[in-house]
Amino acid sequence: MKTLHVGYWLLGLSLLAATIAAAGERTQSFPAKKGGALEVRADGGSITVRGWDKGEVFVRVRSLNEDQLKAVSMSEGGGKVLVEFRWNNRSVEDMQFDISVPSSFDTDLKTAGGGITIETPLTGTIKGNTAGGDIKLGNLGGVIRVETAGGGISAGEIAGDFTVRTAGGDVEVKGVTGEAEVSTAGGNISAGNVGKTLRASTAGGNIAIGKVGGEVTASTAGGNVKLESGQGHVSLSTAGGNISLNTAKGKISVNTAAGNVDLHDVAGSVNARTAAGDLKVTLDPSANESSSLQTSAGNIVLTLPEKARATVVARARGPFTGWGGKEDSQIRSDFPITKAEARGEGQAEISVNGGGHHISLETMIGTITVKKGK
């Protein structure tokens, strides 16, 4: 008889454990077609959405007690699945939404506190917003807009347009085929190739960008800016750091309050300024344009093609021994200097192949060198 009682007792414990487990999870599925939409509104918790090849939306909600599960509502109508969690008592950080949708599906996700993960494969208009958490994106297609009030953002290859914002965290994306707009109030920005235009800004951090097929605007309040290439108008600025550009075509504008500027293989025009640092520019000047290179304390090295047509006016206003301590002439040129003056400062005019594109070079304390390239 005692054995029988023990058996009943163990069976009761098993049923109780199963009841508790069931109380912490809820699942529901809805028939769905490609081109539908998912909307999630949650007062806390993390959200994970993934695409699959089934014609349904499957929702699993985990890590809740019985009362919290009652606060979850799920419905479907007009091709849209709506999942809501309203919980006014306090945030539920451990709560998890795990949702699978057809691979071509619009998603609109919002949580008051938790991470958002959107996994491959998924294409559509994809929106995500969290009041505090990281956002992780796989290889996605369509129009992507995500935002977090405090966390990092990472993404794979985006086939479409990409807009991301974070109030504090790093942003990293492997590549974007369309337009990209990236901003963070404090963190680094790293992006691979961008097919069209790029706008990137951070209140404090480094910016590193690959090849951009259109115009580029990148700015940081404190950090280095590095761009592989850009087309059209390229504007790079930092309040304190170095700026480097490997190749570009169009109007190039760069500005740093304290740092070096290194621009390679630029075709078009350049307007570059640094308050304290060296300027090194290789320029193939375009006709009917002008360029300006200016530093308050540093050296300027400009390289022009042998067959370029340009008029260079160079001013070196003070003696300088160079950063290495070696004395040097204030102005030197591989092209003939057509006019030189010395009135308390060095000044020279260089007519390259009869003149043309106007280039102004000026340093308050430093040397200027004009080189002949290929």
| Ramachandran bin of 242, using left for φ above 0, alpha for ψ from -120 to 50, beta for the remaining angles | beta
Residue 66's Cβ-count burial label (10 Å; 0-12, 13-18, 19+) is: exposed
Predicted local distance difference test score (pLDDT) of residue 141: 98
Q: What is the pLDDT of residue 161?
A: 98
The pLDDT tens digits along the chain (374 residues) read 444 444 444 444 343 333 334 448 999 999 999 999 999 999 989 999 999 999 999 999 997 788 888 899 999 999 999 999 988 766 666 789 999 999 999 999 999 989 999 999 999 999 999 998 999 999 999 999 999 998 999 999 999 999 999 998 999 999 999 999 999 998 999 999 999 999 999 999 999 999 999 999 999 999 999 999 999 999 999 999 999 999 999 999 999 999 999 999 999 999 999 999 999 999 999 988 999 999 999 999 999 999 999 999 999 976 544 334 444 468 999 999 988 775 446 899 999 999 999 999 999 999 999 999 98
Q: Side chain identity at 244, as an amino acid letter?
A: S
Tokens matching residue 345: 């400062």
Give the pLDDT of residue 127.
98
What is the rounded CA–CA span in Å between residue 17 and residue 10? Answer: 11
Please list, in sequence order, all residues whose beta carbon lies within 8 angstroms of the beta carbon of residue 216, skipping any fewer than 6 positions away: 197, 198, 209, 227, 230, 232, 233, 234, 235, 236
Beta-bridge partners for 193 = 175
Q: How far apart are CA 17 and CA 13, in angstroms?
A: 6
Beta-bridge mates of residue 23: none
Q: What does the alpha-carbon distance between residue 352 and residue 192 come to, in Å, rounded to a whole number?
A: 38
Nearest to 145 by CA among 132, 61, 158: 158
The CA distances from residue 95 to 61, 119, 242, in Å, are 7, 19, 44
pLDDT of res. 50: 97
Q: With contact defined as beta carbons under 8 Å apart, do 323 and 302 qualify?
A: no
Residue 162: the pLDDT is 98
Measured CA distances, 315 to 59, 299, 344, 366 (Å)? 69, 11, 11, 10
Model-level pTM? Answer: 0.89
Compute how many other C-beta atoms are within 10 angstroms of the C-beta atom of residue 94: 13
Residues recorded for the chain: 374
Domain boundary assignment for the chain = 278-374
- Rounded Cα distance between 264 and 267, Å, is 9
Q: How far is CA 267 from CA 204, 251, 287, in A?
A: 30, 8, 11
Question: 321 with 302: CB under 8 angstroms?
Answer: no
Return the structure tokens found at 207.
């910016």
